């Protein structure tokens, strides 16, 4: 069984109420996340365990937002990537964490999905920071509009408008590139 298949199976069992499977999922993810964050933190390794715990907590609390029809690893990676970006932001560090690294959490990625991740990353990088952050929060991490608004210090209406405009802008860019 691949890591992805095992993680998804544990997730589905945990969502069905199997506490042991959920604990095993979190234990397995902790090891994967430690490696993932260690490769990205460099001299900032003192915060590694905090990032692992924050990510596991976010995965635990937001597990009901996981679409069980989709692979689990990209969803978990998005949460980890978001936590890492948040960590860098809090410290005033401007680092680029590319989406194509998503396969590194579990390593079960095809060339096609890696290319799609690179394309998505390039596209998202064309957005202003605040809009990119909101799109990541709402569309990738799975936060509700209310949660994203609270996190960004904005009204729910402002978040909805900003996300809508960002998605419209991205859609236009994709359409222009395909001409």
Domains of the chain from N-terminus onward: 1-110 (1.10.1740), 126-179 (1.10.10.10)
pLDDT tens, residue by residue, 78-137: 888 888 888 878 777 655 545 444 444 544 444 444 556 666 777 888 889 899 889 888
Give 65-130 as a DSSP string.
Answer: GS-TTS-HHHHHHHHHHHHHHHHHHHTT------GGGGGGTT----HHHHHHHHHHHHHHTTS-HH
Q: Count the alpha carbons within 13 Å of 28 in the hemisphere toward its beta carbon.
A: 19
For 52-76, what is the mean pLDDT? Answer: 89
pLDDT tens, residue by residue, 23-49: 999 999 998 898 888 888 866 567 888
Confidence of residue 22 (pLDDT cuts 50, 70, 90): very high
pTM to 2 decimal places? 0.53
């Amino acid at each position: 069984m691949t890591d992805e298949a095992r993680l998804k199976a544990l997730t589905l069992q945990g969502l069905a109420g199997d506490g042991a499977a959920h604990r095993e999922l979190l234990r397995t993810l902790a090891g994967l996340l430690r490696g993932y964050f260690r490769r990205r933190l460099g001299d900032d390794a003192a915060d590694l365990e905090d990032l692992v715990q924050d990510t596991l907590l976010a995965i635990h609390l937001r597990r009901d937002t996981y679409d069980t029809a989709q692979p689990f690893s990209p969803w978990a990676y998005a949460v980890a990537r978001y936590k890492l970006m948040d960590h860098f932001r809090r410290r005033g560090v401007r680092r680029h964490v590319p989406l194509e690294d998503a396969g590194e959490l579990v390593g079960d990625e095809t060339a096609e999905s890696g290319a799609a991740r690179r394309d998505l990353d390039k596209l998202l990088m064309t957005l202003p920071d605040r809009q990119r952050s909101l799109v990541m929060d709402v569309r990738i991490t799975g936060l509700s509009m209310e949660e994203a608004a609270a996190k960004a210090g904005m009204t729910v209406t402002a978040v909805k408008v900003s996300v809508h405009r960002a998605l419209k802008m991205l859609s236009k860019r994709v359409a222009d590139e395909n001409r």
